[in-house]
Every structure is written in C-alpha cells, then in structure tokens.
A and B are shown apart, each in its own frame.
Chain A
C-alpha cells in the first residue's frame, strides 16, 4: 500500500521516459554544428540524393550490346511471365541479323509492379530494372514506353520525372 502510494507520488516511470528522451536530445545537441559525424537517421531526401542497394528494382530498361544492337531476340519469356501483362513484343526481322529482332517492344509502366520476373526470365540479359524510382508524372502518355520516341524509349533513364525536385537544378 505504502509502496504504491510512493509510486503514485513520485513518477519514476515518467522520469525514465524523460531521461531517455533527454539522452537522445543531448546527443543531437552535442553534434549540432560541430562538424562531427552525425547520428541522424533521417535522410534529407530531395536535397541529398539517396543511395540505393545494388539489387534495387526500378524501371524496366532495355540494354544494347557493344555494337549498339538490341540484345533481345523475341523469345517472349518476359511477356509470358509478366503478372500484369505490361510488355508487348512483336517479332520481326532486320537485315544483317541472324536472330529475330523486336519490331515492337512496348512497356506500359502504369500497370508495372516492379517484381523483376521479366529480368529473371530473360535468358539473354537484354533487359534490366534500373535504379530510377522517381516515376511520377502528370501525363498518362509519359508512362508508355516503346522502342522509338525521343523521351519515352526503352533504352535510357526516362525524364518522366520532369516534376521531381531532384531533377531541378
């Protein structure tokens, strides 16, 4: 009875919590503007670019070999495996090339769920998921990618994020 009264009168529990908060407050205060390595856990994202892990799954991108040729040979594995059917390939031929050549390779990013099943199924290493993750846009057309096109092509980083803070200089 006496001990419970004492516990009610003297707030040890609140003291413990305040001490913990004070510990972290003091830690940050000591490091503030001192040039020491900060223990901040917050990343100041749009101003400071984030570091991504090597396996990060970003936008689908097609890669070319050293001669500038498309590596894709239209085996349709990625089209088949895609859970949301965002890839459309049309098989064709190109002069001076033995393997089939994709005359059409469409990628509808709106429905893409970035699962990397397409890259996994590709036996020719012709597609990768790059590290681009700022993929917001105001226009629906910006999400459609194809082989041709000035901006929305399959071969590079797309400027769909014209509206991103990071891309502004």
Chain B
C-alpha cells in the first residue's frame, strides 16, 4: 500500500550544530540512520604545503589556525617538534610555563566544548557559565602573548618573554574559584534528567573500535583505555607533574562528558603544581642565527585537548624550511568514528555524536 524508500539528506555544511563547515551525508530509513558519511574539505587551506615554503620559525603561525580553539597546544606541538629535529634543549622554566599555558588551554578548549555541546543538546544555561570562565583564561593569554585566539605563544627554544608581572596573581585568582565553577556545571548537567536522556547510551564506541579507528583523547579514554601521551611519552614538564588520567568504561556520550570534566580538574591540579614549583632561570635557549636542518625525520606527538596531535617533519640538508611537514590532527581522525557511532541510531543522536567528538573543522580540513 505504502512505498517506503531510503532518503538521503545533508546535515550541514551551514548547520549550527556541526561546529563549523562539516557536511554529513545521511541515508535515513524513517528516522533511523542507515549510512552516515562525513564530507570534509570546506575549510581546506593547505597548511602543510604552506609550511613547506616557510621557515621553521615562521611556520608556527599556521599552527594557530589549524585548531583555533586550542592554539597554544598546537604551538607547543610545533615548537617541541622543531626542537626535537634540531636537538635544542629548552630551559626548565620555559617547560613549566609551557605546561601551565597548555593546561589552561585545555580548560578553555573543554569549556568551549562543554558550552556548545550542551547548547546543541538543549541546555542553554551552562553555555553562559562556561564562557564566563573561558573569557578569564583568554584574557590571561592576552596578558601573556598579546592575542586571545591566535596566540603564537611559544618560540623555538623556549619563550619569547617571561610571564608578565601580575600574571601569577591572575592565574591564582582564577584557580581559587575554578573548582567551584566546575561544581556549578555539574549541578546543571550531571544529574539532570534531560541531559542524561540525551547522553547515556548515545553514540557508543567501544575501546576495540576506537583503537582500530585510531581515535585518541577523551573519546578513547571514555571507552576504557588509559592511553594518554602525557603519561605514556612525557613531554614538556609533564614527567614532573602529579596527575591522574581520567577514564571511564561506558564509552557513551555521558562518559565522555565525565572524562572531560575530570580532565579539567586534573588540568587545575597541574596548573597549581606549575605555579608552586616554577623554577628560576632563563626562558630561552641559545640558538644559532639561522636554523639549518640536516637530513632527518622526526615525529613528535603531544596530548592536545582533542587527542594525539602529532607533527611530522622531514628535514633536508641545509634547509631552512621543512622538506615535508605533516600534522596528525586529532579531530580529523576522531571524526572517522562518527559513522560507527551513529549508524542504526536516531537522527537526533547525530548532533550529540558530532558534539561529543569535539571536532574543530579548522583542524579537520587544515
């Protein structure tokens, strides 16, 4: 009597819930998703190719613009990668300040995720509270390096300048009230029945699939894995820091929410340790005037807020710019898990799944 057929619809690229210009092609059977294909490339700028034509010093400004929500983490990955390529040792004080700023950046990234993800699912209030704290950290970035979003915070060999006067006080004032703010978000969401209905058991991804897809970061850790590069291959000053890796076993959207909140608590702990144990000394290593590479290739990975962020450099003899540079972008690889998460589920769960993966399209398309 009735003829039924699959319907193909596009979610995005101009949809507010796709966090940028992500287009998701969905094959629907009623409201159930049969097939889901993320279509990317709307924000492709060719960052890797541009960086091949820029010197190692100049290339850093493009890393600001890949994952623009966590630009300090990207700067750290670039700076440490290049330092590894040239064998530069960074002063201990610079390591501590880098660690502190990266953890502050982890908090901003997770706060932005929390606000927008909750907004997508339907909780408006937490967005305003999350952005209140994010604003405060962004003004710290402005105090440290002069920009709020495209920070260009670090330099090869250390830092451009030491922390400004009053910076420590500013961070400590924030640290004093941040745990209470986290409790406020938890009051609004953790036990909220609407939030739980939208997240518990939604967008499941088990550890086996996550590892097979190469998914890293909070998405992997919410599936039961304890893989965290800060612990597995410590960089910057993380070897000297005392913190725990947040994990959950459920592997659903709710577990990922709890893992990210716990990561913010751990970031808070790390920042406190950095402030207390901030060593004295210079912040910049002695560098040659022109950095000239040898034939060499290195891969350096850091734990960005979204997962494993890797920089792969190939140097040629006497080259002032990388012969080849590749970014292992966590958002790009985590996005591949989207179809696994939502196939066979309902259309409304796609929004939760995109939100929970925490993709930034600047990083996906590069």
Contacts and interface: CB of A to CB of B under 8 A. Distances in A.
Contacts of B193: 11, 13-14
Interface residues of A, number: 26
Contacts of A82: 58
Given A41-B132, A53-B146, A116-B146, A17 B187 contact: yes
Given A41-B135, A117-B58, A57 B192 contact: no
Contacts of A17: 125, 187-188, 192
Given A20-B184, A52-B142, A83 B164 contact: no
B231 interface: no
B184 A57 contact: no
B139 interface: yes
B216 interface: no
Interface string B181-217: 0001001100111000000000000000000000000
A53 B61 contact: no
Contacts of B145: 55
Interface string B53-77: 0100111011000000000000000
Contacts of B345: none
A52 B141 CA distance: 12
Interface in B60-102: 61-62
Given A53-B143, A81-B57, A117-B58, A14 B192 contact: yes
Contacts of A117: 57-58, 61, 152
Contacts of B143: 53-55
B146 A56 contact: yes
Contacts of B146: 53, 55-57, 116, 129
Nearest to B161: A55
B266 to A, nearest CB: 24
B116 interface: no
A90 interface: no
Contacts of A14: 192-193
B237 to A, nearest CB: 23
Nearest to B145: A55
Contacts of A52: 142
Interface string B143-168: 11111001010000000110010000
Contact of A83 (B54, B132, B184, B188): B54
Interface string A41-55: 100000000001111
B57 A55 contact: no
Contacts of A57: 146-147
Given A14-B193, A21-B125, A113-B150, A55 B142 contact: yes
Interface in A82-129: 82-83, 113-117, 120, 129
A68 interface: no
Interface in B103-159: 125, 132, 135, 139, 142-147, 150, 152
A52 B146 CA distance: 9
A29 B249 CA distance: 44
Given A12-B191, A13-B191, A53 B150 contact: no
20 contacts: A13-B191, A14-B192, A17-B192, A19-B187, A41-B132, A53-B164, A54-B164, A55-B143, A55-B144, A55-B145, A55-B161, A56-B142, A56-B147, A83-B58, A83-B61, A114-B147, A115-B152, A116-B152, A117-B152, A120-B160
Given A41-B132, A113-B150, 12 more contacts: A13-B191, A13-B192, A16-B187, A17-B192, A54-B143, A55-B143, A55-B146, A55-B164, A56-B147, A81-B57, A83-B62, A116-B152
Shortest Cβ-Cβ A-B pairs, 7 listed:
A57-B146, A55-B146, A83-B58, A13-B191, A53-B143, A53-B142, A16-B187
